[in-house]
Structure 1
Amino acid sequence: MTATATRRRRFSVGKGFAWAYLIGVLVVTIFPFYWILRTALSDNYALSAHPASPLPVGFTWGPFKRVLGLATTQESIAEGGSGASIEIGHFLVNSVVYASVSTALIVFFSTLAAYAFSRLHWRGRDFMFSLFLTALMVPGILTLLPNFVLVKELGLLNTFAGMILPGALFSAFNIFFLRQFMLGLSTETEEAALLDGAGRLRVLFGITLPMSSGPIITLSILGFIGMWNDYFWPLLVTSDDSVQPLTLALAVFKQSSPQSQPDWAGLMAATLVAALPMLALFMVFGRRIVNSIGFSGIK
């Protein structure tokens, strides 16, 4: 056997292991979503009898009808539901408001800070940026109690402001991400605009921001997904369903069953409805996110 054939054989074996590994990771990643769908299409009573069945047990659209408010109490109980309802439209609106406003504020202030660290020259800039980077090493759990006390003292419990404001003014990762991108942009156009008499704000909003639209959109998408999935902070500062996001509503729905076991089918249907917008968002913009991270020099 020639050396060329040996190398080709070794390459084929390695490629086979690589494909096997990728397929394994893909299966492990997708399986939970399949299991959610399988449970959401099952009869809740039948699930108790056949919990390990790989296919929907007693196939029915009832769980989705219960979640969307299309099933009566009698129909819900007949399929093993608790009879409890969830105003999914109301909580979806709350989640949209919370995620949208939070994301907009975080990205806006992060953009201003990144511009200051990448384009403006002032004493102590690099030292201050180093302090900002240390925030990346502080676990978020450590800031929950101080933020809760602050929100309580300001009288902002059970309000959108109380949920949004503590995290709206600072994001170390966003600032670092945008600064790295802006450092790679050409300064010739900005310098020409400054020489023509344009102010810094005009240069920022008229030149720098349009050139940074890719990373800004990426951070907006990632931030929106993160806020949409946020659970613990809204749990701390809200107890009124008028402002609670969908993540808290799912927990309340799980605990509202008067029976011996929760309405797992209905809960999985609600979870799927809540997750579908984020899955669709990531599928549409996933390539843009990957490209922006690579172009920003983050490895």
Structure 2
Amino acid sequence: MTATATRRRRFSVGKGFAWAYLIGVLVVTIFPFYWILRTALSDNYALSADPASPLPVGFTWGPFKRVLGLATTQESIAEGGSGASIEIGHFLVNSIVYATVSTVLVVFFSTLAAYAFSRLHWRGRNLMFSLFLTALMVPGILTLLPNFVLVKELGLLNTFAGMILPFGLFSAFNIFFLRQFMLGLSTEIEEAALIDGAGRLRVLFGITLPMTSGPIFTLSILGFIGMWNDYFWPLLVTSDESVQPLTLALAVFKQSSPQAQPDWAGLMAATLVAAVPMLALFMAFGRRIVNSIGFSGIK
């Protein structure tokens, strides 16, 4: 039997459908990003005349110049822009502060809680962990109003603290994820350290944390991406541009047009600028994230 015949026999209808499905999912996933890029490289006036074109219409770098503050008002209006500007550097810094501090806090406190649930023996531990798990069943939208009232009563509206604290101190998923991983770790080294006189905190930070660096890194990346893309919660608690993240700035940029039609090209350019750091982050560490999740398992 020749090699060609062997390859033909290996092909099946099922494999054909599987490949077709994967290609379809890939196209559906990538197409929105391509359309955003196509719109961001188009002239607004030309775009209105030919909105269905698969290629950039009236190719120009003008939308990116408008977003980065490199275009004058006259140049912006000449390409169909609104003349509105966005201080993207300022809002990028706000997003970095919001996402970084929130991620560091929630991962740190989740690690402490996961260690307590997996290594310490205390009365009511299993019951308390079950209560923690019920938080996974509560839709996040139901907690927004109580958190908003709490932040308002504490006088933390229009502050980074008001945005960060409600979601930076507790995450049921993070605790569950880290606890499951810690349960699979050997306790021999930790027990030996305790016998030698090491305290619990020293064991946690000197032994357990280094062995749990993979899942912690994974949760940090996923948490950072989630906070970076957060929109609704900052919208509720902030109206001051000094603390607003980039997601809110994009909405303000869309609404600031005095024209009947928003500056779609500029808006798509700003969206790409906001998305590129997260895409680069996930592409750089995506394999490590998937491997960590698969290694953690459910125990």
Same fold per TM (> 0.5)? yes
How many residues of Structure 1 are paired with residues of Structure 2 in the alignment? Answer: 299
* Residues 41-74 of structure 1 deviation map (CA, whole Å, 9 limit, x = unaligned): 0001111111110000000000000000000000
| Distance in 1 (alpha carbons) for counterparts of 2:291 and 2:59 | 41
Shift of 1:13: 1.9
* Residues 188-246 of structure 1 deviation map (CA, whole Å, 9 limit, x = unaligned): 00000000000000000000000000000000000000000000000000000000000
| Distance in 2 (alpha carbons) for counterparts of 1:298 and 1:61 | 49
Shift of 1:114: 0.2
| Distance in 2 (alpha carbons) for counterparts of 1:128 and 1:11 | 53
| Distance in 1 (alpha carbons) for counterparts of 2:7 and 2:44 | 56
Change (3 A) 1:232 1:191: same
Change (3 A) 1:129 1:8: farther
Shift of 1:17: 1.2
> TM-score with structure 1 length normalisation?
0.97
Change (3 A) 1:75 1:162: same
Match of 2:216 in 1: 216
| Distance in 2 (alpha carbons) for counterparts of 1:238 and 1:217 | 29
| Distance in 1 (alpha carbons) for counterparts of 2:64 and 2:6 | 56
Shift of 1:14: 1.4
* Residues 110-155 of structure 1 deviation map (CA, whole Å, 9 limit, x = unaligned): 0000000000011111111011000000000000000000000100
| Distance in 1 (alpha carbons) for counterparts of 2:191 and 2:125 | 20
> TM-score with structure 2 length normalisation?
0.97
What fraction of aligned residue pairs are identical, expressed as a percent?
Answer: 94
* Residues 67-89 of structure 1 deviation map (CA, whole Å, 9 limit, x = unaligned): 00000000000000000000000
Shift of 1:12: 2.2
Shift of 1:28: 0.2
Deviates more, 1:1-10 or 1:270-279: 1-10
Change (3 A) 1:8 1:187: farther
**Secondary structure, in 3 states, of the residue corresponding to 1:203?**
helix
| Distance in 2 (alpha carbons) for counterparts of 1:51 and 1:155 | 47
Shift of 1:266: 0.1
List gaps (5 residues or longer) in structure 1: none
Match of 1:257 in 2: 257
Shift of 1:260: 1.1
Alignment RMSD (CA, Å) = 2.1
Shift of 1:6: 11
Change (3 A) 1:67 1:7: closer
* Residues 231-266 of structure 1 deviation map (CA, whole Å, 9 limit, x = unaligned): 000000000000000000000000000011000000
> Do structure 1's residue 225 and structure 2's residue 229 form an aligned pair?
no
Match of 2:103 in 1: 103
| Distance in 2 (alpha carbons) for counterparts of 1:110 and 1:287 | 23
Change (3 A) 1:232 1:194: same
* Residues 82-120 of structure 1 deviation map (CA, whole Å, 9 limit, x = unaligned): 000000000000000000000000000000000000000
